Amino acid sequence: MLKQIVHIVKVTMRGQKSQFQIKLPLNTTKILDVKVTANPSFKKQDGDTFLFPTEVGWIWLRLSELRDVFYCESLKLKTQNHNQTILNHKPINDFGNGNFWVQGKQETPFDITADLHTNLLEGYYIDRFRKRVDNNYEVRIYLTIKTE
């Protein structure tokens, strides 16, 4: 059976380094995919230019029995055009009612197959985002697992 687990890491100060553990169900056999999101609130100043995606932080996940990193990522600020629903003017050759359409690309998880012999994952997160208004934000780790 496939299940999805969400683990939340709370970041409360700038430059915070967090080490955490994710406890999986005892009958977990594999991790099938991973998706990590972090969207801190920030206010763009007049002189700020964001030509490239701004880095939020670094994350590593590893299997506790092997001490081997199976996933690492540099988290970036997401652009605001993911899964937007926008009111649409009805075009001439409309296939539906012309009420809504979706723009942007769908976020997809990172496909991975990690065989497990224990139910414990270890993780490490370093905050790298300097231009935020509120110091508190959450890093969400979505794991799709296969159980017996």
pLDDT tens digits along 91-142: 555 555 555 555 555 667 777 777 777 788 899 999 988 766 667 889 999 9
Q: What is the pTM of this model?
A: 0.73
Q: Where are the domains of the chain?
A: 2-42+54-147
Question: Each residue of 26-78: pLDDT tens digit?
Answer: 888 888 899 998 877 766 665 555 545 578 899 999 887 777 788 898 888 76
d(CA 41, CA 92): 40
- Give the largest Cα separation in the chain, rounded: 61
Q: Which CATH number fits domain 2-42+54-147: 2.60.120.380, 1.25.40.10, 1.10.260.40, 3.10.20.740?
A: 2.60.120.380
Rounded to the nearest 10°, the torsion over CA 136, 142, 63, 26 is 120
DSSP summary character for residue 53: P
Query: Are the C-beta atoms of 90 and 98 separated by less than 8 Å?
Result: yes
